[in-house]
Amino acid sequence: MNYISIKNIDNLSQWVQDALKIKKNPLKNKKLGKNKTLGMLFFNPSLRTRLSTQKAALNLGMNVMVMNFTNEGWTLEFEDGVIMNQGASEHIKEAAEVISQYCDIIAIRAFAGLIDKEKDNAETVMAGFLKHATVPIVNMEGATGHPLQSLADAITMEEHKTPHRPKVVLTWAPHPKALPQAVANSFVEMMQKQENMDFVITHPQGYELNPEITKDSKIEYDQDKAFENADFIYAKNWSNYNEYGQITNADSNWTVTAEKMALTNNAKFMHCLPVRRNMIVTDEVIDSENSIVIEQANNRTYSAQLVLQKILNNVK
Ligand code: SN0
């Protein structure tokens, strides 16, 4: 079993209930991972993913090894059949198989490069490991998805669920750097599995996500209208998918402010973090009682622990 995408979740509400059970008693399965090793490979920076996934593994009694490819590992070649006379020192064929000798599960972070859309959509790094590793793979944010985050988001929404059918809004907000679409993509896929929630995506014209992912999810270009009666506001920046990887809008009118939140049904504010304060969201909103960003981050542990637990139960 691998955990690569929200598509790997066969029954979202069951997974959320199972994760909430883990949260009540995180050390219950302390023996499950004994003498098993999780290898965590980072091709990009991380705070929450690194610590929460490591914490989850420790709660299961696993050993953990962390490797940063940003400045410590050999640069890897992912293309088959090339003459390796350029910068890359080692081919994924050897690297993935070698790492598999030391690990029972491999978790990988490899962001979108945001230059070559086709290459990003092909998930070169994740696909290379899936092909050449001989152990299960966990996605810690690939080029097109961040399924551990969205599972944590589902857990957090369940904890704050309203008595009525909630309205959930994913809103784009401005950011000084070009960011991947991964978090937004997985959030959309997760929301499409929610049977008892209404879902609206709001972003400037031209900022449409991959239509193969958003499918028939509702898009409302008027942010104020989208916010009306919302119970959850999930803010996230992503760079332009059509004009791939470009920043074509930096309109501060899209920042989530107290005035915008006043249009909602006393909505909870959500963000995956790290967040640019007073770009994505004002201090006033993120520091308010309605902000549940810290609980989202806390739930990253239980989302990762559920996934690791499922894999460990599967490999035994
Ligand atoms: C990443 C992203 O995919 O948007 C990771 C989010 C979990 N975010 C960033 O790279 C933010 C970088 C910054 O400088 O704000």
Residues 151-186 pLDDT 10s? 999 999 999 999 999 999 999 999 999 999 999 999
Binding residue ranges for N(2)-succinyl-L-ornithine: 141, 175, 236, 276
- What is the 3-state secondary structure of the chain? CCECCHHHCCCHHHHHHHHHHHHHCCCCCCCCCCCCEEEEEECCCCCHHHHHHHHHHHHCCCEEEEEECCCCCCCEECCCCCCCCCCCCEEHHHHHHHHHHHCCEEEEECCCCCCCHHHHHCCHHHHHHHHHCCCCEEECCCCCCCHHHHHHHHHHHHHCCCCCCCEEEEEECCCCCCCCCHHHHHHHHHHHCCCCCEEEEECCCCCCCCHHHHCCCEECCCHHHHHCCCCEEEEECCCECCCCCECCCCCHHHCECHHHHCCCCCCEEECCCCCCECCCECHHHHCCCCECHHHHHHHHHHHHHHHHHHHHHHHC
C-alpha 72 to ligand 1 mean position (Å): 21
Condensed to tens digits (0 to 9), the pLDDT of residues 265-300 reads: 999 999 999 999 999 999 999 999 999 999 999 999
The pLDDT-based confidence of 15 (bands split at 50, 70, 90) is very high
Residue indicated by tokens 């599960």: 105
Q: What is the rounded CA–CA span in Å between residue 209 and residue 129?
A: 26
Assigned CATH class of 6-145+300-312: alpha beta
Domain boundaries, the chain: 6-145+300-312, 161-291
- Above 80 in pLDDT, residue 5? yes
Answer yes or no: are the C-beta atoms of 1 and 136 closer than 8 Å.
Answer: yes
What's the whole-number average pLDDT of the chain?
A: 97
Closest CA to 189 of 208, 213, 219: 213
Condensed to tens digits (0 to 9), the pLDDT of residues 223-272 reads: 999 999 999 999 999 999 999 999 999 999 999 999 999 999 999 999 99
The pLDDT-based confidence of 9 (bands split at 50, 70, 90) is very high
pTM: 0.98
The pLDDT-based confidence of 73 (bands split at 50, 70, 90) is confident
> Phi, psi at residue 5, to the nearest 5°?
-150, 160
User: Which overall architecture, per CATH, does domain 161-291 show?
Assistant: 3-Layer(aba) Sandwich (3.40)
Q: What percent of the chain has pLDDT over 70?
A: 99
Of 70-74, 153-157, 214-218, which gets the smallest average pLDDT?
70-74
Binding residue ranges for carbamoyl phosphate: 46-49, 74, 109, 146-149, 272-273, 300
- Tell me whether domains 6-145+300-312 and 161-291 share a fold: yes
- Above 80 in pLDDT, residue 22? yes
Q: What pLDDT, on a 0 to 100 scale, did the predictor assign at position 71?
A: 84
Q: What pLDDT, on a 0 to 100 scale, did the predictor assign at position 279?
A: 98
Among protein residues, the one whose CA lies closest to atom 5 of ligand 1? 274
Q: What pLDDT, on a 0 to 100 scale, did the predictor assign at position 106?
A: 98
C-alpha 164 to ligand 1 mean position (Å): 33
Answer yes or no: are the C-beta atoms of 160 and 292 closer than 8 Å.
Answer: yes
Q: What is the rounded CA–CA span in Å between residue 254 and residue 248?
A: 13
Mean pLDDT of 21-32: 98
Q: What pLDDT, on a 0 to 100 scale, did the predictor assign at position 234?
A: 99
Does the beta carbon of 180 lie inside 6 Å of ligand 1? yes
- Above 90 in pLDDT, residue 70? no
Mean pLDDT of 108-126: 98
